Amino acid sequence: MIDFNMQDKVVLITGGSRGLGRAMSLGFAEMGANIAIISRKIDSCKATAKEVEALGVKAFPYAAHVGKWGELDDMVEAVYGEFGQVDVLINNAGMSPQYPSLDEVTEELFDKVIGVNLKGPFRLSANVAKRMQSAGGGSIINISSTASVSASPGSEPYGAAKAGLNAITRSFAYAYGPTVRVNCIMAGPFLTDISKAWDMEAFNARAASVIPLKRGGQPNEIVGAALYLASEAASFTTGAILAVDGGAH
């Protein structure tokens, strides 16, 4: 039997208060993990922390902007001060603001998208992986997107940043092995709070024609993949990019 028990483990999740991050926070908590919930909005972090603690584990809500290295470094110090360890890091925070056309993408927008989706995970992974090495090991999971390998009309900077996240997954797996494993979940379209702004009639029609499972994913459907990559079940898995996308890519 595969054992996904996370008793006494500490899992740090960026973007951990909403959408896929919230689903993973609750999923890992159900397996016994203590959760550091990181997001820009402390009220949202605290709300999810209450849900996590209702499952009988500890939660540590903390507000930080993933695109700012100084805030990330302070956050890591705070998490280690609270728990004394991080066993699993999940780089989940992301952003993909809309823009009217490619020639109207501003430098500010481009830098924000790269900062949150690539620069932040680079710094956070390097900071935490070094500590994991000293402690004997750990697991890092990056949350990428099918936009990294497919045409992404309307979200080109986001797709480029996630392609970079795929690349550093493989490089960090080499740099911090054999004790720290680094893997990536390449997520397809999930029906989170963000999808409330979608034209669902158009999405469902497209999904029925181009996605083998003919639908978008539910947030809880990413949890099994994350638990696998975090657990000893994946002890010989590193540098992998696992598609959880209904076959969309």
> Amino acid letter at 202?
A
> Is 230 in contact with 24 (CB distance < 8 Å)?
no
Say how far apart CA 7 and CA 137 lie, in whole Å. Answer: 16
Q: Max Cα separation, the chain?
A: 53
> Is 188 in contact with 217 (CB distance < 8 Å)?
yes
Quick one: which of 22, 120, 25 has its CA closest to 64?
120
Catalytic residue among 158, 174, 176, 228: 158
For residue 158, indicate whether it is catalytic.
yes
Structure tokens at 232: 């000893």
Cβ-in-10-Å burial (0-12, 13-18, 19+) of 201 comes to exposed
User: ∠ CA(178), CA(16), CA(100), 5° rounding?
Assistant: 105
**Which residue carries 């697991």 as its tokens?**
139
Q: Annotated active-site positions, please?
A: 158
